[in-house]
Structure 1
């Protein structure tokens, strides 16, 4: 109804001080890897939302819980928002990785309602439509004002956040919310909202004074937007007008499979890429990939049940490979736009649209070694950071702000 309070859980990863208490640096402290208390992440398997069997899984991360934040500098803030039915640690391959590279990473656990049939699914999905962008905006405001709070419990954390340099990463329905958070108010005429009372959605609608003013100051600090298989641009559910999408000024990286049958690559993803004309944007395409381009690999507990495994894995792509490529490009993108590391642009502005057409000759019988491509020498026409012969199955499209198509 929008009238009751909601408690939102978040997971926070950040650059930390290595101490004997947390064992963050085994090399300097003389600890073996087995003695380091790494974070344990657990969640209910997706099928538990339908069956109620409470099946859970756990995996060990690389982070140390409750470690002391580095307080000698401020780090850009990265907000991560999962897809429908996901959870706050659904993308730890990326959240931990970014924190290790100097980012303050906050992942929301949206706690989408469980469903067991068509009616409860509709209610759960409708609730997700209502709350995704609101959750993101609320959490961003909380952390932006953390240092102003008289409660000193989070003083160390607040001191390490650069609230003027923000990125939002949204996967699937997280991307649906991220677009509204970044400046594209929803279209009140879209069929997506036909069963939701207008008064509830009004604060997120394009042209509504509440939407235009309420989050405007924070929106100006969003310097980068990453959309992984974002939902909502496909027909008949297209949730934005082209003019609303033009309100987004932040540079944008869109990541998608060209066989995504959930958000419709041709009718949804490509439309977004072409319509966001006020944004400098890149579109990374995994050829032959469907919708599961954003999350962690399938846990061991999911492998025996295909319907559960299908929630995580891809038909063609190895998930560890896909995850590593995401880490590579998202890092380059955020480094460029949040830290001003201009050399990272060469990783994004690839020499060819299709990776398979990049050139790095190898002679018959030549040992390719473990070297990766750089901007100079014989690998200059290859995708930077990739091993020779391994840049395959990918496309990188680029449009500058003001460009319509290319």
Structure 2
């Protein structure tokens, strides 16, 4: 019996190793314990790169004594979309990313590659019903390839997904933090407007006539969440604007995104119907006050680690959730996870002895398996965006008991809903 037990254990281990080998298991694939809605949709996935230019913008890095020059701000985006995959063609894309920060001596840029399930320049599936738009916005620092697991997954489910490289905020070009503070929300709105232009029926873009920007979802991680909150109605506080002025010698560049600015309050973009804030930064730094948080009216899914040491949890992300009294909102918490609840998992070939710990922690959590977090994110974001952008009947996947340890979470396999909490609060009534 002991021999047979050993034999079957060895056989299982061999199959397990084969199943999850680097060759077979790609970023974004579903683990055996993945919840139901993490499964890919029925569409093949195409991917293309677009180079955009936001003309005549204030160059934050040129500011001196409160004044700066104008420049044409480059914005590169990656676009994933429902696509036709030809027979006998592998739906595989090799992405190129870098570790490091702006080539500093202690954080040199180290290129690496990883594979995903998409086909470069595949033909988009044309349909009479336009695709909702989802915009992805990375942290400081990051890149447009930081969450390919989510981009590919959503595109397979009938979304056009656009992920931004925020100039001055990527691994390659990280610059003074003031640029990120001022530009994050502006970049998000610019990309939304540009995709609307490219989706015009008269456009010569592959997106012409195929994207419904009136049904837009915005997903922001860390500084992307900071900007996304502002984009969706949470105006910056007077304290935040004063802090920016102190950093720039008196620049008023952030004033127009403040909650005290009447033009800001009247400019909240109604095309954005749903917002996902993954570990949004700023609350512990006084970026929002009570009035600012009350300005958020967009339905919002917050995602956080209970031990977030960058954005903070009780006085950070959870405080934003509690203060956004006019939003129909959820808070998904990974118990004991830290800040990195959004990125792809680390690529094994890049994780070598001597690697700077911060390079590893860009992609990993010290408690949670990032592949597991990726799958759970896919599941809940599919449900949340499906309700608000595709009119899907997914409410049962969100109307859950707060404590996952009860084991009764809809869509989770037996013994797998554990270590999480999901809170829900409806908007305040007059």
Asked if the contact 1:13/1:95 (under 8 Å) is kept, the reply is yes
Q: Which residue of 2 aligns with 1:94?
A: 150
CA offsets, 1:93-145, max 9 Å, x none? 101101001111100011335799xxx98x52221111111100111111122
Asked if the contact 1:136/1:181 (under 8 Å) is kept, the reply is yes
SS in 2 for 1:4: strand
CA–CA distance in 2 between the matches of 1:276 and 1:61? 36
Change (3 A) 1:281 1:49: farther
1:390 matched to 2:416? The reply is yes
1:182 matched to 2:232? The reply is yes
> CA RMSD for the aligned pairs?
2.2
CA offsets, 1:42-86, max 9 Å, x none? 122135643363311111110111111122121111010000010
Asked if the contact 2:142/2:171 (under 8 Å) is kept, the reply is no
Q: Greater relative contact order (Cα 8 A, min sep 6): structure 1 or 2?
A: 2
Q: Which residue of 2 aligns with 1:201?
A: 254
1:75 matched to 2:112? The reply is no
Asked if the contact 1:355/1:394 (under 8 Å) is kept, the reply is yes
CA–CA distance in 2 between the matches of 1:41 and 1:111? 19
Q: Find the partner of 1:16 among 72, 83, 94.
A: 83
1:354 matched to 2:403? The reply is yes
Q: Find the partner of 2:361 among 310, 316, 331.
A: 310
1:7 matched to 2:71? The reply is no
Change (3 A) 1:146 1:210: farther
Asked if the contact 1:329/1:347 (under 8 Å) is kept, the reply is yes
More helix by percentage: 1
Q: Which residue of 1 aligns with 2:292?
A: 244
Unaligned ranges ≥5, structure 1 = 21-28, 359-381
Unaligned ranges ≥5, structure 2 = 1-58, 61-69
CA–CA distance in 2 between the matches of 1:261 and 1:310? 12
Q: Find the partner of 1:103 among 159, 183, 206.
A: 159
Change (3 A) 1:113 1:95: closer
CA offsets, 1:364-392, max 9 Å, x none? xxxxxxxxxxxxxxxxxx10111101111
CA–CA distance in 2 between the matches of 1:251 and 1:221? 12
**Cα displacement (A) at 1:148:** 3.9
**Cα displacement (A) at 1:206:** 1.7
**Equivalent residue runs for 1:7-406 within 5 Å:** 7-18=74-85, 20=86, 29=87, 31=88, 35-36=89-90, 38-47=92-101, 49-51=103-105, 53-72=108-127, 73-112=129-168, 124-148=176-200, 151-152=203-204, 154=205, 156-190=206-240, 192-193=243-244, 194-196=246-248, 197-213=250-266, 215-216=267-268, 219-234=269-284, 237-304=285-352, 305=355, 306-342=357-393, 344-350=394-400, 352-358=401-407, 382-402=408-428
**Cα displacement (A) at 1:149:** 8.1
Asked if the contact 1:43/1:58 (under 8 Å) is kept, the reply is yes
SS in 2 for 1:262: coil
SS in 2 for 1:255: strand
TM (normalized to structure 1)? 0.82
Q: Which residue of 2 aligns with 1:379?
A: none
Would you say how many aligned residue pairs link Structure 1 and Structure 2?
Answer: 355
SS in 1 for 2:316: helix
**Cα displacement (A) at 1:205:** 1.6
Asked if the contact 2:201/2:208 (under 8 Å) is kept, the reply is no
Asked if the contact 1:287/1:394 (under 8 Å) is kept, the reply is yes
